[in-house]
Amino acid sequence: MKYLDEFQDPALARRLLDEIRSTVTRPWALMEVCGGQTHTIIRHGIDQLLPDQVELIHGPGCPVCVTPLEVIDKALEIASRPEVIFCSFGDMLRVPGTGRDLFRVRGEGGDVRVVYSPLDALRIARENPGREVVFFGIGFETTAPPNAMTVYQARRLGIRNFSLLVSHVRVPPAIEAIMRSPSCRVQGFLAAGHVCSVMGTGEYPELAARHRVPIVVTGFEPLDILEGVRRTVLQLERGEHTVDNAYARAVRPEGNPAALAMLEDVFEVTDRAWRGIGVIPRSGWRLSPRYREFDAEHRFSVTGITTREPAECRSGEVLQGLLKPHECEAFGGPCTPRNPLGATMVSSEGACAAYYLYRRLDLPAAVPRAASGAEPDPAPDPVPDPAPQAVPAAASTTSLEASPVA
């Protein structure tokens, strides 16, 4: 496919790997921020192709995974109300709240609908003037602009039965929090290219200088990842710590002015809790006072929520890069995509799901897994697990070198 195959070329991948091997002289730990990058890395075995000195640590950039349990529980409560049509992207429906998920709410009679755009939810609101339509607005800087535009449109068109349950988060404060953590091992970042295509790169130079870490804006195809790693390692070996844009085909330093203007109009920066991590100052958005009437939390008084995370789930450590998914005792045993204990096993961008999907079940875990063993639970279930990807055995973790990338 034009503009895609070029970024999956095995010969070019080998050349980049050779350059990385010839550059690296000592161990370095890099964090890829985005869950989409994590999936590319695990799917193509890039972490296993890199020299042993280069470790990739998976970051918290999975929007579904970091949506706090309290917000999920509020969504469940609102979606249960008879007057509400609750609209969401599909990947939120299986995210476990305290004791149930949105699928369960739908099974119990709640009107929960999967939509493909927030504008679909706005259309549903116009078609159902007697109902309250709520859209679950989660995610990073990439999903915030369309959600902002939808609220802007609702106000412009006078659609009052629409509201947004907001849980938007921002990447730069998360990088700041990671670097401030006493247990941080990260020495360089592959920043999320799509986030920077919206926001630009202006927030990163100060972070790079303050923490003396290179930050390389990186794309999502295998060659993008390898080029991001190559540039980061080069900086580390030279003792540099600058912001470098390795995704120039999509990212301009100033970002997307129209999207930024919409964000500025509709949202304001606020402190946000991240699931498994805790509150990070100024790491999110909420609706600004001008649009507060469209805030579902403001419209529906939801009280009495008591959250409870499964004790065995260690997704907070996974999201902070302190633990690899296969090192969790529940991975592949009690916890599978069919029976997820944490959001990182549900989301299409979750690190635990990536390890499960791309056959990392066979990796030796740092700690013994739970007694139920490493094999997925074969018990029948109405929601099937996604099948692990059918890559050739020899290429299951190193597809770039072994064959043309699928």
Would you tell me which residues interact with ligand SF4 (CB under 6 A)? Answer: 312-315, 318, 325, 328, 330-331, 335, 340-342, 344-345, 352
Least CB distance to ligand SF4 at residue 329 (A): 7
- The SS3 of residue 75 is helix
State the amino acid at position 112 in one-letter form: V
Beta strand 132-139 pairing with 84-88: parallel
Beta strand 111-114 pairing with 132-139: unpaired
Least CB distance to ligand SF4 at residue 338 (A): 12
User: Is there a contact between 145 and 174 (Cβ–Cβ < 8 Å)?
Assistant: no
The residue length of the chain stands at: 406
Looking at beta carbons only, is 293 or 329 nearer to ligand SF4?
Answer: 329
Q: How many CB atoms lie within 10 A of CB 400?
A: 26
Least CB distance to ligand SF4 at residue 367 (A): 11
Looking at beta carbons only, is 137 or 321 nearer to ligand SF4?
Answer: 321
Closest C-alpha among 53, 37, 8, 44 to residue 398: 44
Using a CB cutoff of 8 Å and minimum separation of 24, what contacts does 153-161 make? 153/119, 153/122, 154/122, 154/125, 154/294, 155/291, 155/294, 157/126, 159/122, 159/125, 159/126, 160/293, 161/125, 161/128, 161/129, 161/130, 161/131, 161/132, 161/133
Q: What is the DSSP string of 320-351?
A: TTSS-GGGSTTBTTTB-SSS-SSGGGTSTT-H
Alpha carbon distance 195, 215 (integer Å): 13
Least CB distance to ligand SF4 at residue 369 (A): 10
Residue nearest to ligand SF4 (CB): 342
Alpha carbon distance 210, 121 (integer Å): 42
Looking at beta carbons only, is 70 or 312 nearer to ligand SF4?
Answer: 312
Least CB distance to ligand SF4 at residue 377 (A): 13
Least CB distance to ligand SF4 at residue 384 (A): 18
